[in-house]
A = this chain, B = another copy of it.
Amino acid sequence: MAETPKIRFGFIGCANIARRVSRAVAIAPDAVLYAVGSRSLDKAHAFAAANGFPAGAKVYGSYEAVLDDPEVDVVYLPLPTSLHVRWAVLAASKKKHILLEKPVALNVAEFDDIIAACESNGVQLMDGTMWMHHPRTSKMKEFLSDVNRFGQLKSSIGEGMVYPFMFCIDMHCFYFTSLIHSNFTFTARAEFLENDIRVKPDLDALGALGDEGWYCLRAALWAADYELPKTVIALRNPEHNQVGVLLSCGATLYWEDGKVATFYCSFLSNTTMDITAFGTKGTLHVHDYVLPYEEDEASFYAATESGVDEAVTKWVPQPSKHITKTDIPQEALMVNEFARLVADIKFNNAKPEKKWPTISRKTQLLVDAVKASIDGGFEPVQIQE
């Protein structure tokens, strides 16, 4: 049986993150580094040489040339957020599948234009949120979904109604909340705070919210099975730079069933990447969800029915550490998942998978809501799907 041909990736732009994704494409079994285009041909050559592009790879002095190359299956788009809608819509019109860096757009209206272009051209769209593809993430989700280990997520009452997070004692029912806390911070260097695209209003106008808050909001959605919260209220401490770009912010999200999430992101605090999920029976802690401490293994802490001994001297049981090993780093798993979907469309006539753009859109909706709450003086913002 002949091997399925590899899916050919073309990069437009040579952003820092593209270095990491080019390594991922090189590692991913089903993908191949095929082309790179930059506005400067020299820069594109230097990038290809430094990042493992094979000898025959195409190197172009423009983004358009990559889009016009009929051999390119996938366009990887790491350009500044303000350029996403223009280049993603154009790439879709050229029938290129699109791996799109996050935040996917400046707002959901722009992203809807991208989705429409992808749908009308039958191409796959996925964002570059790498941690979604780490096998640890599935393991953590298994834990959160386990009513025996994490808790009672759904409980029937009355006429077929279902309330998550509820239990009853005698005649009294408690409809209780579950909390999800997430954060992503790092201390940006002076050069970053002066010059990086992520602090420029004409490039990545969403600043820390788009760059880091994206992950926190995705974590909240992920833990909530992608059910959207009803209300978002920003924390009253956002910091902006002199030109109005967010350097730190946070928010509280409220679901209709009582679930709550809080998050915090900042360019001005030492690196943190935590998710804490509070269940009725169990607890999840992870401290490196965005980028694991080590590439070949990652861990999380799970606790179930934590208690104390009779004399209240120690915890029984104590949380346990769960380690997931992986031979392939999360970004290469992401690339391979994308290549697999594209191959299925290209060779098997499959339809594009809607799960990924749907998740991206929900995340962007929450980014928009946090921004709106900040801009509106920290008032509650209702989420409308």
**Which residues of chain A have a CB within 8 Å of any CB of chain B?**
20, 23, 151, 169-170, 172, 174-179, 181, 183, 185-187, 190, 193-194, 231, 233, 235-237, 239, 241-242, 247-248, 250, 252, 254, 258, 260, 262, 264, 266, 268-272, 274, 276, 278-283, 285, 287-288, 291-295, 301, 303-308, 311-315, 318-319, 329
Contact = CB atoms under 8 A, between A and B. Distances in A.
A231 to B, nearest CB: 8
Contacts of A176: 239, 247-248, 266, 268-269
B151 A270 contact: yes
Given A276-B272, A278-B269, A311-B23, A177 B248 contact: yes
28 contacts: A20-B312, A169-B193, A169-B194, A172-B241, A172-B242, A174-B268, A177-B239, A179-B250, A235-B252, A235-B262, A236-B254, A239-B258, A250-B260, A252-B252, A260-B264, A262-B262, A268-B280, A269-B279, A269-B283, A270-B278, A270-B303, A270-B306, A274-B276, A287-B301, A291-B308, A293-B314, A293-B315, A295-B313
A272 B278 contact: yes
B269 A179 contact: yes
B233 A236 contact: yes
A281 B288 contact: no
Copies of this chain, complex-wide, total 2
A179 B260 CA distance: 18
A199 to B, nearest CB: 11
Given A252-B252, A258-B237, A270 B313 contact: no
A76 to B, nearest CB: 16
B271 A306 contact: yes
Nearest to A173: B242
B266 A278 contact: yes
